[in-house]
Amino acid sequence: MFDTLSDRLAATFKGLRGKGRLTDADIDATAREIRIALLEADVNLAVVKEFVANLKDRCRSEEVSGALNPTQQIIKIVNEELVNILGGEDRTIRYAKTPPTVIMLAGLQGAGKTTLAGKLAMWLKSEGHSPLLVAADLQRPNAVNQLQIVGQRAGAHVFAPEPGNGIGDPIAVARASILEAQRKLYDVVIVDTAGRLGIDETLMQQAADIKAAVTPDETLFVVDAMIGQDAVNTALAFEEGVGFDGVVLTKLDGDARGGAALSIARVIGKPIMFASNGEGLKDFDVFHPDRMASRILDMGDMLTLIEQAEKHFDQEQSRKAAEKLMSGKGNEFGLGDFLSQMQQLRKMGPMSKIFGMLPGMGQMKDQIANIDEKEIDRIEAIIYSMTPAERDDVAILNGSRRARIAKGAGVEVSDVNNLVNRFVEARKMMQSMAGMMGGKGGGMPGMPGMGGPRKQAKSQAKKGKKGQKVSGNPAKRAAQGKPTAGEIVDAGAAFGVGAGAQPSEADMAAAMENFQLPPEMQRMFNQKNQGPR
């Protein structure tokens, strides 16, 4: 949704790179580009004016003029201002001291309230609550039936005493649901009301009457993030006619410009509490302003990625797989381990969604969008066609075995060969990287100053200042300021700049020129640069 805005901001910041000092003209040009980017994203004009004014004031302050890297400081300011207009802090449900907690959903027709009711119920269940869904939308055809289906998928009970389709009193249903929850010990009640238009006085009054009947602890306004500025206008109408405590954004996975998400919290003064970014019932989570700002600036969303991994990964299984991979025995990590890790990764969602949370992936969004999930299905089919022994040790896969596997998976033998070859190369590379991080010597081969403390000390001890020979006498060597072979050299000394000093840009550049990749990794990059054969 924020691709266009992210691209414009990235281009603006790129033009500032390499400048050690920013002039007033640079600041004005940057503010103008950001203003255009926000307006193109359909952000409310008043919000844009406030954003740009704050940006200019802070850019001309000491925090930028005195910074070593003013460009990074401006990115930091933009990030903080984005967090501010998105609401500043997280806000979740305020639960009643005496159950049940009543949550009322209101919003336009087609905003996705009924589906969102099921998503909210599933999220509440994951948090340890027992929700009850209430079918108080008796106007829309089959709305009651839809909520029952959604509730069944979410594993939540649905209170629907009336058939709907224009029959029944929604106020009486909402009032009766509280008694039902108290009788059956549900601690959260989610009231799904009829979708309405801001100008529909009758339905707006009905929503106000339902709110008066059940006195909800939270009234959530559900808004389609794809409708742009109309979302702000509708929110204002609902705030005046019914009143609400927080906003829930739906369809954040759409391709609209996303101005509603960047405007509604600031204009209405109500926090965005939840966001829905997919059609599945699990595509729903608490809205984090700081993480959303980070995504817009292409800094990724590692916290959400880690949270998703903690939910779906088996830690013990992952630990055993990592031990096999880092054991250094070559073939302990097999295709069976790879399959189990891949399946746990897929539980987190589509690969495009996972990669999109990584920093810097905005530059590769076209490649990410073209990820073929069916290719992963084919990989699973090939591995499932192998015997357990073949998965554990791919070295036993001769020609006849590979032909049998290909036939069983419905693929060509070349597909099996490609999978095995890629797996073996990837395993070698990962084991090489594991060796760099935790192998003998404790350092990275080919990286200046990273060959381990003793090796560093020896190499430094052999060097004399301006070609001066290092004395073998410890006293003379101390006078020369040279470390002994057993001394540990600090980070600055690794680049030849002396203990306690920081390496200069020239030292760093020289170090990077001498940097060498491990052979397996270098071979992989060479193959990538050659392109498809």
**CA distances from residue 78 to 36, 51, 74, 259 in whole angstroms, order as listed:** 14, 9, 6, 16
Residue 250 assigned ligand-binding role: yes
d(CA 43, CA 180): 43
Residue 124 assigned ligand-binding role: no
The CB density around residue 195, as the number of other CB atoms within 10 Å, is: 22
Residue 23 assigned ligand-binding role: no
Cα–Cα nearest to 225, from 106, 143, 120, 112: 112
d(CA 39, CA 335): 50
Residue 194 assigned ligand-binding role: yes
d(CA 402, CA 418): 11
Residue 112 assigned ligand-binding role: yes
Residues in Cβ contact with 429 at an 8 Å cutoff, skipping those fewer than 6 apart: 518, 520, 521, 524
Residue 484 assigned ligand-binding role: no
Query: Which residues, listed in sequence order, are joined to residue 104 by a DSSP beta bridge?
Result: 191, 219
Residue 193 assigned ligand-binding role: yes
Residue 140 assigned ligand-binding role: no
Residue 399 assigned ligand-binding role: no
Residues in Cβ contact with 475 at an 8 Å cutoff, skipping those fewer than 6 apart: none
Per residue, the 3-state secondary structure of 317-348, as one string, reads: HHHHHHHHHHCCCCCCCCHHHHHHHHHHHHCC
Residue 253 assigned ligand-binding role: yes
| Ranges assigned E (strand) in 379-489 | none
Q: Which residue has the tokens 């039936």?
A: 145
Residue 111 assigned ligand-binding role: yes
Residue 109 assigned ligand-binding role: yes
DSSP per residue, 226-278: GGTHHHHHHHHHHHHHT--SEEEEE-TTSSS--HHHHHHHHHH---EEEEE-S
Residue 30 assigned ligand-binding role: no
Residue 525 amino acid letter? F
Query: Which residues, listed in sequence order, are joined to residue 188 by a DSSP beta bridge?
Result: 101, 131
Residues marked as binding? 107-114, 192-196, 250-253
Residues contributing to the annotated binding site for GTP: 107-114, 192-196, 250-253
